[in-house]
Amino acid sequence: MAEHPETIVVLDFGSQYNQLIARRVREAHVYCELIPWDAPAERVLALEPAGFILSGGPASVYAPGAPTLPAYVLASGKPVLGICYGMQALTHALGGRVAPAAAREYGHAELYIDAPDSPLFAGISSPTRVWMSHGDRIERPPAGFRVLAHTANAPIAAMGDDERRLYGLQFHPEVHHTAEGKAIFHNFLFRICGLHGLWRPENFIAESIAQIRQRVGQERAICAVSGGVDSTVAATLVSRAIGDQLTCIFVDHGLHRQGEVEENMEAFRRHIQAPTILVDARERFLRALAGVTDPEEKRRVIGREFIRVFEEEARKLGRVRYLVQGTIYPDVIESSGAGSGATARIKSHHNVGALPSDMDFELIEPLRMLFKDEVRQVGEALGLPASLVHRQPCPGPALAVRIIGEVTEEKLAILRAADAIVTSEIEAANLGPDKPWQYFAVLTSVRSVGVMGDGRTYQYLVAVRAVSSVDGMTADWSRLPYDLLARISSRIVNEVPGVNRVVYDISSKPPATIEWE
């Protein structure tokens, strides 16, 4: 039986935009999961999907080993929307013809609707601006399909079989460059699939509490809390479900930002009903990180040490079966990739790809299928204060992944001081709606020559990072005012020993990530 009464399955064929497809569906209050195209049919059909969306991808349908459309998709009789490669895979499976385009088409295009009566294009302007990114195109649609729209370079930019509810788009409706992309998704979900938009924070909370109670029974659980919104919401949710069977553990690993330990413990006391234990593990983590410079190894070390601390603390409490974590969907996607070989692993998150295989606990991750903004919505529905729900994100490994190279006490002291200046200046600037989603300092491994007073210096370079984002899957660098950047730079160089140069990171995600490591 499916957990959610309305579920859309997005099959991942390797597109760089596939997470955005999931976002657009969730924004319409419809639950969806992003699943590898070659996942077992049993796994997919167990979700009882109301429809399928086929993502784009970099391959050609004629390339050796190219992803193919699973047989269960068409056999299900459910509506299908193929996007770019997904449209080509649908065409290929149904006997149409896919061929290389005369030239790869990338960028804006004007879409002209040829079938305004199609439910997929109800209420859509003609022409309307769309975003193209493809090398192959449809030369002949499958039997039963009609051409729904065209562009100057794509005679079949959209096709559909209204009777079987099968549709294909050569362009990408999920990206913001497609002007009416959300409306096209809305048409597919509600006009074609007949859904009602039942995916709401309140429904999620009720479902999660019931599932957690059923799973945990009379067993005990501990929850790893960091002070971030993810772990705080997870702790609150599980606390509502099992009450005093839960104990929260906050590990002071010595890698936190300035004043963060004290602030977090006060927040836990005020807002989380379960008791919270503070564990001083600063020396332990620094010893484990000594000599470690590779970012993936840092994450593995930190993930391992977290689990060992939790195991030791759990033994003091008696028999503890479950460990609760604030893992969210972007962590899962970046750590393991959504598809088998289709979507690449970006980095291991300490709570996903870096956990030791021999740990004593079974995991409970109630937020595992949520994006960051959805976690915030759940936090608000749980009644958590805005100061917690909208706190800027910070990775679990904290400053360890904002120090390039080995982590030492000296570097931590430098970075804490620099980061505190960045935070205080941006928060004092009262930027309103232009305030960045996340902002911090990075201590690089670069040293450069400088002049202070009458003497030569050879000191560290600090990078300042500030980005705007909704869910962390994509991000753009924030256009901070020049005078604000000047104050930040001046204060860091003058107030933080060991730093003589400051730069501002103007990279977006992608191609960069938000964190440097």
Decide: 412 and 386 in contact? Cβ < 8 Å.
no
Q: Alpha carbon of 128 to those of 108, 246, 422: distances in Å?
A: 10, 53, 42
- Specify the pLDDT at position 346: 37
pLDDT at position 104 = 59
Which three-class secondary structure string do you get for 110-140? EEEECCCCCHHHCCCCCCEEEEEEEEEEEEE
Quick one: average pLDDT of 426-441?
94
Contact between residue 248 and residue 275 where contact means Cβ atoms under 8 Å apart: yes
Name the more confident of 446 and 227.
446
Query: Averaged over 377-398, what is the pLDDT?
Result: 87
pLDDT category at 12 given cuts 50, 70, 90 is very high
Q: pLDDT tens for residues 459-472?
A: 999 999 999 987 67
| Per-residue pLDDT tens over the stretch 479-505 | 999 999 999 999 999 999 999 999 999
List pLDDT tens digits, range 293-347: 999 999 999 989 998 999 999 999 988 999 999 988 777 766 554 444 444 443 4
Query: Burial level of 260, CB count in 10 A (0-12/13-18/19+)?
Result: middle
The pTM is what?
Answer: 0.73
* 223/256 Cα distance (integer angstroms): 18
pLDDT computed for residue 106 by the predictor = 66
Q: 3-state SS string over 53-110? A: EECCCCCCCCCCCCCCCCHHHHHCCCCEEEECHHHHHHHHHCCCEEEEEEEEEEEEEE
Q: What is the full DSSP assignment across 240-294?
A: HHHGGGEEEEEEE-S-PPTTHHHHHHHHHHHH-SS-EEEEE-HHHHHHHHTT---
User: Can you count the helices (H) and strands (E) in the chain?
Assistant: 15, 18
283 catalytic residue (yes or no): no
Mean pLDDT of 390-415: 91
Question: Distance between CA 379 and CA 326 in Å, rounded?
Answer: 12
- pLDDT at site 396: 77
Instruction: Say which of 32, 84, 248, 394 is annotated catalytic.
Output: 84
**Mean pLDDT across the stretch 11-29?**
88
Quick one: pLDDT at residue 103? 56
Q: Within a 10 A sphere around the Cβ of 10, how many other Cβ atoms?
A: 27
Q: What percent of the chain has pLDDT over 90?
A: 64
Q: Is the pLDDT of residue 94 over 60?
A: yes
Question: What's the rounded Cα separation, in Å, for the pair 117 and 104?
Answer: 30
The predicted pLDDT at position 345 comes to: 41
Q: Which of 92, 134, 172, 253 is catalytic?
A: 172
Q: Amino acid identity of 460?
A: Y
Neighbour count for residue 323 (Cβ, 10 Å): 24
pLDDT digits (tens, 9 = 90+) for 224-270: 898 889 999 999 999 999 999 999 999 999 999 999 999 889 888 88
Helix axes 229-242, 372-381, angle to 10 degrees: 40
> What single letter denotes the amino acid at residue 160?
G
pLDDT in the model for residue 57? 84
Query: What's the whole-number average pLDDT of the chain?
Result: 89
- Count CB neighbours of 364 within 10 A: 25
Residue 186: active-site member: no
The pLDDT of residue 342 is: 45
Which token pair is 419?
């980061």
Give yes or no: 92 in active site.
Answer: no
Selecting among 174, 305, 365, 515, the annotated active-site residue is: 174
